[in-house]
Structure 1
Amino acid sequence: MTSNTIPDENISEFSPRSYQTEIMEQARSKNLIVCLPTGSGKTYIAVMLIKELSPVIRRNLDDGGKRTILIVKTKELARQHCKTLNDHLDLKIKSYSGSSKINLSDNNRWKIEFETNQILIFIAQIFLNLLAHNLFSLDKVNLLIFDECHHAIGDDPYALIMKKHYNSCLHHPRILGLTASISGQKIEPKRLQKAAKELEEILHARIETGSNRMEITENSLIRNAMRKQQWINVLRNIEKLKKLHSIDQKLKEMVK
């Protein structure tokens, strides 16, 4: 089960709802796992929090600056997150999703990458490798965002980033987890509480679902309906193209 944080959310013309502002305000001072339905605008909460905490990432690392790191599971999510953040933030953003292009022996290259960019988006394993080779440290991170954070279990790279590197750093970054599901596996309702507690312990964060459930549900339903209508329109246009192509073929046959 996945949360599909980016693909199902269009935030280009979006004003924050009260529950999003409420959650963002909490996330400014404490680690949170934002567990909201698909289409409820989890990504916008991340955008607002990045803005709120951005002064420190606008500075050079040598001047006490830090960096915001966004961890994702797939190349496609890395690409889409990068586009979304670029659309809404006046910060230098770059994504790293191709393992073949990652040279763990080039210390100078990574020093430049972290100095030049203020928000860096990584597939989890790549960032874990960089930390393991001492090419960067969580001490220099102000905000660590985990997309689809329910994957942070067992020996998953999400979990290992926290277990091997978060616990040992001196200056802990703020943690923001985004998910539509407490667990990535199908589990019985009676085990849900245990799964939630384990996720909170690994991410050192508290699960937050928002206080205004009616507004959250309403917003999610509206966005899902809009997305469904968009797909309907796409399919209708495909059918029109097929008919036009068929007519064109028949005309060509008649000319012959």
Structure 2
Amino acid sequence: MLRQQDCFLGDVHPDVLEDVRQRLRGVHGNALRARLADEPLYRRNGKYSHLRTPTKKELLIKAYCLKTFVWGWRVLAELDLSLLRKGASELRDYQLAAASEALKGGTLLVMPTALGKTFVAALVAAHLLATSPKKILFLTPTKPLAMQQAKRMRELLVVPQESVLVVTGEISPAKRAAQYASARIVCGTPQSVENDVLTRRLSLSEFSLIIFDEAHRAVGSYSYSFLGRQARESGALVLALTASPSSKPEKIREICGNLGIERIEIKTESDEDVRGYAQKIKLDWEFVELPPELLGLRDILREQLSECLQSLKKDGYLESADLRRINKRILLSLRPLLAKDIPKSYGSLSTLAKAMNFMHAIDLLESQGIAALYEFLTGLKQREEKTKAVLAILADHRYAKLVARTQTLKEGGFEHPKMRRMREIVGSAVHAGKSVIVFAHFRDSVSEIERQLNAEGLRVAQLVGRSGDGGMSQKEQHALLEKFRAKGFDVLVATSVAEEGLDIPSVDLVVFYEPVPSEIRLIQRRGRTGRAHAGSVIILVTKGTKDEAFLWISRAREKKMRETLQGLRGELSRKKQKGLEEFS
């Protein structure tokens, strides 16, 4: 009988090769197992290309895998898919390969949204449900996502509908404990599951597989970290899913360490085995110039910010007061330093707070527009409790000048050139019958964009998070998204709440009102299009501002993320191989 280790040895004995040929003749069924002895073993765009005759070693690998799936000359574990609902979804070779690899140990699967991470998880779950009496645990960061994944599991797997349980904090602990007994698949939020594990209403030893969706959250004190450690102790297989873990090696290592990851599987739209399935996403960015009216306002704000920085430098808390070298992160890092220096630093703490306000005002002016700046400036005066820093800003004669000029521009209909270009882009797309999501960082900007698009006669709705005034409950969010899915309106204007954790329908066009500096958020926003068909992404950028820096930062970090993942993948592989050699 052929053994797995034989597949990685040198030349194959002629007698073994002949046995391979005989066993392969007449095999049919799955494309990867069809007459492999006589046909070349390369595929391009879903079809076989007659490139060359397979080597003896390749034939042996294929022979060993007669009843399994193979990809990239790796021997893959056999999958029992008897519980996969026939016709529920297209079986793709790269998904089968990823699922098969995941059965070998704790796996971090990095794959864009449209390529089917959830389906890979369903394949692994189908195999383990068919071969083990234990349950499956599917963890998601939010209740809407837990409900979405439960619905998907019911659609993909041949299991009783009532055996797929959704567990969230809205269900009482006593009721959850009773429901666990009859469940085969548990979909839930990590906080609820952690609570049940700590109170011994649930043991992770009951599960053969634990799936961590949006696995990039498995850092720090987030519940994923605790449950990952518990999963390792219970012996459950871990499958971690994400489209974008991080560009930082230390963060990816932390994720892998917390979840007990032994291997990293990466798939991108550019991979040869994926190209035939991935929808094209056209990414463009459009630059706009700040007009003289806004440049004049910015000069006043920069003058005030510079005075604050000079004061902090004089007090010994900053090495440089150069506006080009100081960012929000540097200012935030001063807070703990100043807190340790009280009471000497009281004045500097107030100066720092003023600097943060001026920096925020500049960001709003450059990236958002007149309406956002006006709301911020007048909001300072309307605060019920005013800090020393705010009182100092209000007492400065330049504050009144800023408010007056901003109000005049606002009432005169003056707007940021981004707003005008956004209306043109969205209006053109909607009139062409396309669906659109517009992302904006600030709620005030979301409201202003909605107002402007409604004034154009478009059907628009806004989606924001739950916190603060004007927030939306999860029930309201769900109702809005169902209406969007049913074509009840054409444009969804959203904050970062629409980046992850909600079941957002795929759209034709995604517009970034401003760039984001995070590679994770870039990938998540982009993933809202290009699922069932080709899509487009347009990023609006104010030239010569922080917008431009954020654009290049996020793109550079995405590239670095892929390089980091490939490096850590090799590192894990070498570590595992070294362990095997030491064991043998």
Q: TM-score, normalised by structure 2?
A: 0.32
Name the residue aligned to 2:196. Answer: 130
1:81 aligns to 2:139 (yes or no): no
Aligned residue identity for 2:155: D
CA–CA distance in 1 between the matches of 2:433 and 2:107? 36
1:93-108 → structure 2 map (5 Å cutoff): 93-97=164-168, 99-103=169-173, 106=174
Contact 2:96 2:120 in 1 (8 A): yes
1:26 paired with 2:101, answer yes
> Higher RCO, 1 or 2 (CA under 8 Å, sep at least 6)?
1
Deviation at 1:221, TM superposition (A): 2.6
Matched, 1:219 2:277: yes
Amino acid at match of 1:120: V
Q: Distance in 2 between matches of 1:71 and 1:179?
A: 12
Partner of 1:166: 231
Residue 179 of structure 1 aligns with which residue? 242
Q: For residues 147 and 433 of structure 2, what CA distance do their matches in structure 1 show?
A: 25
Give the letter for the 2:115 counterpart.
Answer: S
The percentage of aligned residue pairs carrying the same residue is 22
The amino acid of 1:17's aligned partner reads: R
**For each residue in 1:57-109, what CA deviation from the matched residue of structure 2 results, as whole angstroms up to 9, or x when unmatched?**
6xxxxxxx321000001111111111111111122211122x23222xx3xx4
Query: For the residues of structure 2 that align with 1:125 and 1:241, how far apart are their CA atoms?
Result: 34
Question: Following the alignment from structure 2 to structure 1, what is the Cα–Cα distance between the partners of residues 275 and 224?
Answer: 28
SS for the counterpart of 1:220 is coil
- For 1:111 and 1:241, the matched residues in 2 are separated by 39
- Please give the per-residue CA displacement for 1:100-133, whole angstroms capped at 9, x wherever unaligned: 3222xx3xx4453122110011111000000000
Q: Gaps (5+ residues) in structure 1?
A: 1-11, 58-64, 184-188, 243-256
Aligned partners of 2:146 and 2:189 also within 8 Å: yes
State the secondary structure of the residue aligned to 1:196. Answer: helix
* Matched position secondary structure for 2:205: helix
> Is 1:52 aligned to residue 127 of structure 2?
yes
Q: Which residues of structure 2 form unaligned runs of 5+?
A: 1-86, 283-428, 437-457, 461-486, 490-584
Q: Which has the larger radius of gyration?
A: 2
The equivalent of 1:60 in structure 2 is none
Answer yes or no: is the 8 Å Cα contact 2:110–2:244 preserved in 1: yes
CA distance in 2, matches of 1:79, 1:138: 21
Report the RMSD for the aligned CA atoms in angstroms: 3.1
After superposition, residues 186-225 of structure 1 pair within 5 angstroms as 189=247, 192-205=248-261, 206-210=263-267, 213-216=271-274, 219-222=277-280
**Displacement, 1:234?**
5.1
Q: State the distance in 2 between where 1:238 and 1:159 align.
A: 42
Indicate the SS of the match to 1:213. Answer: coil
The worse-fitting range, judged by mean Cα deviation, of 199-208 and 126-135 is: 199-208
Aligned-residue offset at 1:233:
4.6
Residue 154 of structure 1: aligned partner: 220
1:70, 1:147 within 8 Å by CA — same for their partners in 2? yes
Please list the CA deviations of residues 5-28 of structure 1 after superposition, one character each: whole Å capped at 9, or x if unmatched. xxxxxxx86312221111111111
Q: 1:51 to 1:241 in 2, by over 3 A?
A: closer
Contact 2:167-2:176 within 8 A present in 1 as well: no
Kindly provide the CA deviation profile for residues 126-150 of structure 1, in whole angstroms up to 9, marking residues without a partner as x. 0000000011111111000000011
Question: Which residue of 204, 208, 212 maps to 1:142?
Answer: 208
Tell me the amino acid that sits aligned with residue 82 of structure 1.
A
